[in-house]
Structure 1
Amino acid sequence: MFGAAHYAAMAVFAVACWGVGRSLLARIGAPGRRDAALEAAMAAAAGLGLYVCVFQAIAIAGLFGRGAVVGTVALGLLAAVLQWPAWRRERGPRLPSEPFGFVEKLALVAFVLTALPALVEPLAPPAAFDELMYHLPYAREVLQSGRLGVHEWLRYPWFPYNYNLIHAGALAVGDDVLPHLLSALAGWLSVAMVYRLGAQHASRLTGLAAAAIWLGIGDYESALIDISVALFVLAACTALWWWRESDDPARGARWLALAAFFLGVAAGSKYQALTVLPLVAVFVVRRERRLKVWALALVCFLVPCIYWYARNAVMTGDPFNPIGARLFGFTNWNAADYKNQFDDVRAHAAWPNGFLWGVLFAPFALAWKRSPAVRAAAVFSLYSLGVWALTSRYPRYLAASVPLIALVSVVGWQALLARLADGLRRALPAWNARGLLDRAGRWLGVLLLLVGVGGSFYMTRRSVAAIATTPAERAAFLDAHVPGYAVMNYLREHATGRVYQIALSEAIYYGPAPVWGDAIGPWRYADFIVLPPAEFARKLRGLGFEAIAVGASAAPTLAAQPGFLDHFALMYEKAGAKAYRILPAKND
């Protein structure tokens, strides 16, 4: 029932998104190449983006809360009811499709095996580092205050937080597992779009394999916003292609405006989405130079994201705070913070997932020669990989481009495998004549699928074990997966004053709100813990702090300082993490 209730809530919101988005797309008109499933996914993505804008406007007005969320979702459901008859008429009768071949059946089974753990993963309690450090804490602050705010105790107080407003809406009507489901909703929509785009512009097998790769790479177990940004970038690219294929200038301009809107939602969710803009601008300017059309697209881009960038520019002088600090000046970060952050990104640099390397072979594929859309997707993929390699090589920063890279990669892998198969047929003509090569290929596919069954079963079982339906199960899971959870939870229940944390950034969501302290920013450790214990305690008391929470990695070093226990008294300890009360000064 736990999973069914959460998926039912996700489905209700998905229908509302489709209703709102379908109302918008009906005014734009139909794309030149009709595809009911792709258009439905695009409508839901458009509705999701519109909900971001509505929630943003409500929160700017200081009116965000349960009533506003329920009311806007109810309006979306009403829109869905009103749009349903027209959509049914436009969709028309279902036409019979070609039966699946053997390889397509293998790909379909592989997709299902990949989907099973992805369906269960979102049901676990929040335990991912970044979702606990700032994604969910920010969403909770929006809900509790009813407005957008700048919270300097978070590591990234000035970031654009578009999709976090969807998480805030989830917290307004459900528990903190529901944001996982609404993040997964973005992932499932993008998976559906990848499949339909692959089937349209290459083959059904290409679409299935690409959808399985993106589904396997995407993060479905947290409230991180990477797969949601990927959805909006993919939807923007799809709308751009519909614009390119349109033979009606007025309708084409509307598709272009929609693409700009999707990019605006993405840019208002994560700075990295901005890297797509130069390529899109070059793509558009080659065909469209009317100032009126560009102006409309610019307005549609700015509506979802201008608040964040304008606020930052006005309040800090850096519209891209904090990553623009070297150009616009430092505010909450200093030069050392900036360096430490980028050093950390470089330390976690890695090569792309192995499934994505097929993009190198795409130019040798028949789909490359036959489909302009495949070539455009390949240019986008190579551009994204190049920018990513030059700027960070941090895996999550590539996520926004992975759906299209996966699609192009499958095209490349198909070309490589076809050439290898042709080489084997020429090298082993006798085997080929007797059909031995084909049978060997089939058995190899079945063997790989059996391995996939085992992997899927293991991952699904592990994901099921992570579901916590009772308070006791939830506490046990969080104790095992969130370092310092017990200490933070104790302080949430018992602390009456301000709390400073050391080496427990990943647990602050479970502590009292707010919790100060971080490796970077205005409450950086370097300004506190390097002080002698007496001065450290004096500084904390002067700032109104009552207690400190210390992670297991830092606790022994801190407690070993001479005189530490003269100024800090142990309140609670578990799994190496500790909570200390700051003692009054001896002369008080």
Structure 2
Amino acid sequence: MFAAAHYAALVVFVVSCWGWGRGVLARLAPPPRRDGGLEAAVAVALGVGLFICAFQVLAIFGVFKLGATLAVIAAGAVVAALQLPAWLRERRTLKASAVALPWTYFDRIAMVALVLVALPALIAPLAPPAAFDELMYHLPYAREVAQQGSLGIHKWLRYPWFPYNYNLLYAAALQVGDDVLPHFLNALAGGLSVVMIYRLGMLHANRLTACIGAAIWLGLGDYSNALIDMGVALFVLTACVSLWWWRESQPVHSGMRWLGLAAFCLGVAAGSKYQALIFMPLVALFVVWHERRPRAWALALVCFLIPCIYWYARNAVTTGDPFNPIGARVFGFSEWIPADYVQQLADVRDHAEMPNALIWSVFLAPFGVLWKRSAAVRAAGWFCFYSLAVWVVTSRYPRYLTASFPLLAMTAAIGWQVLFGWIAAGVRRVFGMKAATAEGVPELTNRRSAARIGDWVVVLLLAVLAAVSVRQTASKVAMISPTPETREAFLRKHVPGYAVMDYLRRNPTGRVYQIALNEAIYYGPNPIWGDTLGPWRYADFLLLPPGDMANKLAKLGFTAIVMPDHLAPTLATRAGFDTHFAPLFAQDGSRAYRILPTAP
């Protein structure tokens, strides 16, 4: 029942999103190359973007409450019901005119692999929130918006000024359900982009490319948290699809509405994460190559600004930095100091590493026949090369590449076909040479031997993939916590500091300052202060002698501190610490101290 209830809620939301998105798309000219599955996925993605804009407006005016959220969802469901008959008729027409491609042996293998990869992804969203960033600021911000019904600046969070478009969906989920439901909205973004990659592969390449590309992106996605990277990836991909529909419109000017849709999706992405802005130069170059009319650019600019202008304008007016805090060196420092900026960049560099090996084959795609045959494949390839070049120059932090992963996956699928094509050709040459030199060994026998070897290799690979899939699925099932008792056990095991944070939440003592337990603040008192960066940075307190630290904290209204055990030998053993701090609670490797009122 636990899983069924959450999936039912997701279905209702998807239907409502499709209703709003389809309502808009039905008023645009049909795309030049029709595909029912791709259009349906784009409609749902557009509906998600419209929901974000609606929630943003409601929150700006302070009326983002449960009733308003349910009203918008219900209205979308009604719109979907009204459009369903016409959509079904259109689908039947498209199916009647479509040419069914035959399934090859390799297509079936790739589809089996795709299904195996999908199994753990279907279970993953059911786990309680336990990922670092979702507990540090994604869900805490969403909870504040859900409770207050308005957008605010919550300076106790690490990134209070960031654009939070996709997090507004999590706020709505917290209003209507529990904190597992936001995981399904993150998973929805991944699932929609998987469908788009599959349909794009079918349209512009072949079924094998579609299955491999979808499987790669499905395997790279993280469906067990409430981060926003897959949400950004969804809207960047939807923008690319819309841009290609615009590019294929003949003449191009007749598809100007698709250009507006692409700009809107990029605006939603830019209003969710600053990293989405890196695609703007490439998109601008692509558009200006085909369209220079001021009217078209004005339409695109307006559509882009609608979903994201609030965040950037608010930051510019309030702090002078529209990209706060990452624009501090240009626009001036406000919440952060230069040392914070340097520390953040150092942290990104420390986490720099190569992206997943599954996408390395993207560099082989230009050697394949599909690259030469399809302009869409070449466009996707140049998008990938641009994304990789910018990523290498700017961060080399793998998660910052997530927005490009869907198209990287599809292009890498073409590269893998090139690579295995070369390997197969080499094997055939080897066996052909043996057939020519081995007296009395017919060539047909060698071909059959090669085919049998290939079959055994495929069976072995599928067996390994099945074993990995079963193991990961079992691991995800073990994380499901449908009861308070299982949830408590899971969180105590996977969230450092959970027990102490939960104690302080249930037994409020006043203002609490946390030290090195950022990943548990969602489960602690609301709000809770303390961070490595920003106005509540640890360095401003922990470097002081115990008496001065207690005095400073007490003057700011703090009554308790909480820290992991591994810091206790450094902090709690300093001379005078026992005079100003008293043990309050300790469990599971963390401890809390009360700030004594006698602190000078």
Q: TM-score, normalised by structure 1?
A: 0.98
* Alignment partners' CA distance in 1, 2:28 and 2:361: 36
Q: Distance in 2 between matches of 1:586 and 1:490?
A: 24
Which of these residues, 469, 474, 477, is aligned with residue 487 of structure 2? 474
CA contact (8 A) 1:309 1:320 kept: yes
**Which residue type is aligned with residue 271 of structure 2?**
G
Is structure 2 residue 413 aligned with structure 1 residue 413?
no
* Match of residue 549, structure 1, among 562, 568, 576: 562
CA distance in 2, matches of 1:252, 1:397: 31
Letter in 1 for 2:529: W
Query: 2:568 aligned with 1:561, yes or no?
Result: no
Confirm or deny that 1:213 pairs with 2:216: yes
1:155 counterpart residue number: 158
Match of 2:525 among 485, 499, 512: 512
Match of 1:574 among 578, 582, 587: 587
Distance 1:23 1:158 in 2: 33
Please state if 1:310 is matched with 2:313: yes
SS in 2 for 1:175: coil
Does the residue aligned with 1:149 lie in a helix, a strand or coil?
Answer: coil
Q: Distance in 1 between matches of 2:284 and 2:11?
A: 35
Give me the TM-score of the superposition, normalised by structure 2.
0.96
Aligned residue identity for 1:59: A
The 1-side partners of 2:21 and 2:137 are apart by 29
Give the unaligned 5+ runs of structure 1.
none
Given that 2:547 and 2:599 are in contact with CA atoms closer than 8 Å, whether structure 1 keeps it comes out as no
Offset at residue 250 of structure 1 (A):
5.3
Greater CA drift, 568-577 or 388-397: 568-577
Residues 1:334 and 2:355 aligned together:
no
Of the structure 1 ranges 235-244 and 554-563, higher mean CA displacement relative to structure 2 is found in 554-563
Higher mean C-alpha displacement, 243-252 vs 160-169 = 243-252
Aligned partner letter, 1:164: N
Q: Distance in 2 between matches of 1:532 and 1:286?
A: 63
**Which residue number in structure 1 is paired with residue 350 of structure 2?**
347
State the distance in 2 between where 1:434 and 1:219 align: 42
Report the alpha carbon displacement of residue 546 of structure 1 after superposing the two structures with TM.
1.1
Gapped regions of structure 2 (runs ≥ 5): 436-442
In structure 2, what is the Cα distance between the partners aligned to 1:340 and 1:50? 37
Percent identity at matched positions?
Answer: 62
Which residues in structure 2 correspond to 1:71-470 (within 5 Å)? 71-93=71-93, 94-95=95-96, 97-249=100-252, 251-429=254-432, 430=435, 433-470=446-483
Residues 153 and 514 in structure 1, CA contact (< 8 A), matched pair in contact too: yes
Root-mean-square deviation (CA, aligned residues, Å) is 1.1
Point out the more displaced range, 573-582 or 397-406.
573-582
How far the C-alpha of 1:301 sits from its partner, in A, is 0.2
CA displacement at 1:370 relative to structure 2: 0.2
Distance 1:476 1:177 in 2: 16
* Residue 10 of structure 1: aligned partner: 10
Alignment partners' CA distance in 1, 2:30 and 2:129:
40
Letter in 2 for 1:367: L
Deviations 1:318-377 (A, max 9, x none): 110111111111110101110111100100001011010111101110000000000000
Q: Separation in 2 of the partners of 1:305 and 1:388? A: 23
Aligned partner of 1:520: which letter? Answer: L
Deviation at 1:562, TM superposition (A): 1.0
**CA displacement, residues 512-532 of structure 1 (integer Å, 9 cap, x when unaligned):** 110000011000000001111
Q: Determine helix, strand or coil for the equivalent of 2:458.
A: helix
What is the match of residue 45 of structure 2?
45
Secondary structure of 1:549's partner? strand
Q: What secondary structure does 2:542 align onto?
A: coil
Deviates more, 1:479-488 or 1:428-437: 428-437
Structure 2 letter corresponding to 1:205: L
Q: 2: distance between equivalents of 1:375 and 1:249?
A: 19
Structure-1 residue corresponding to 2:63: 63
| Contact 2:260-2:299 within 8 A present in 1 as well | yes
* Counterpart contact for 2:210–2:410, Cα < 8 Å: yes
> Tell me, what secondary structure is at the counterpart of 1:548?
strand
Once the two structures are superposed, what CA deviation does each residue of 1:456-483 show, in whole Å capped at 9, x if it has no partner? 0100001000000111100100000000
Once the two structures are superposed, residues 9-36 of structure 1 have per-residue CA deviations (whole angstroms, 9 ceiling, x without a partner) of: 0110001000000000011121011100
Find 2:541's aligned residue among 525, 528, 546. Answer: 528
Does structure 2 retain, via aligned residues, the 8 Å contact 1:555–1:576?
no
Work out the CA distance in 2 between the residues paired with 1:471 and 1:125: 11
Size of the alignment, in residue pairs? 587
Cα distance in structure 1, aligned partners of 2:506 and 2:234: 39
- Distance, in Å, in 2 between the alignment partners of 1:234 and 1:519 is 34
* Superposition deviation, residue 423 in structure 1: 2.0
- The letter of the residue matching 2:50 is L
